[in-house]
Amino acid sequence: MAVSLAALVVTAFWAMLPAYVPNNAAVLAGGGRPIDGGRTWDGRRVLGDGKTWRGTAAGTLAGTLLALVLNVLEPTLSGLVGFSLPTFPVAAGVGLALGAMLGDIGASFLKRRSGRQRGAAFPGLDQLDFVVGALVLGYVAAPAWFTATFTLPVLVIVLVMTPVLHVVTNVGAYLLGLKNEPW
């Protein structure tokens, strides 16, 4: 049975929601003690003030809770769209959310090593860092669920759709005065 492009896009977006939300939640709940404790390496901060324990915990919790809410909404929304949306085992929700946070933390480490300051653009990495982290940890946490949900077509859509969503939402936040830079 052939699956429509629309169904693949909706499935990809739905499956990635627990990974799309954590970094935004981390910004809202951020502040507090930086993960790197202010330490430097080669004269540069290891991560910077933007990566905090509180933000990481809040982002992971927000993504995990969203996965649980999506499970409750799934029967109704599956009926509306006319096909089954995936539900999230708790391990998958945690894996996607924590993986998104860890991917973003890893990108901050790479940015500092390349001499970029906090908020500086790093095309490609900025759009996909959290996706790679979420997909890797999602697979580790719930491999059977992951392989059933993230088929090759869904993965391709995630990798194409995410940078577009990232740019559109960041430009929108910049225009609304919520961000200092449009990336």
**Does residue 58 carry a pLDDT above 90?**
yes
| Matching residue, tokens 């939402």 | 169
Q: What is the pLDDT of residue 183?
A: 67
* 78-119 confidence digits (pLDDT tens): 999 999 999 999 999 999 999 999 999 888 888 877 776 766
Cα torsion 65, 59, 80, 1: sign:
negative
DSSP 34: B
pTM of the entire structure? 0.87
H or E segment at 45? Answer: strand 44-45
How many whole angstroms separate alpha carbon 16 and alpha carbon 89?
14
What is the percent of the chain where pLDDT is above 70?
91
Q: Which of 72, 67, 124 is nearest to 98 (CA)?
A: 67
Q: What is the mean pLDDT of residues 11-21?
A: 96
**Does residue 160 carry a pLDDT above 60?**
yes
Decide which of 10 and 120 is more confident: 10
Q: What is the pLDDT of residue 172?
A: 82
* 30-42 confidence digits (pLDDT tens): 778 988 888 888 8
Q: What is the mean pLDDT of residues 12-23?
A: 95
Q: Which of 92, 62, 85, 71 is nearest to 9 (CA)?
A: 85
Mean pLDDT of the chain: 88
Q: What is the pLDDT of residue 25?
A: 86
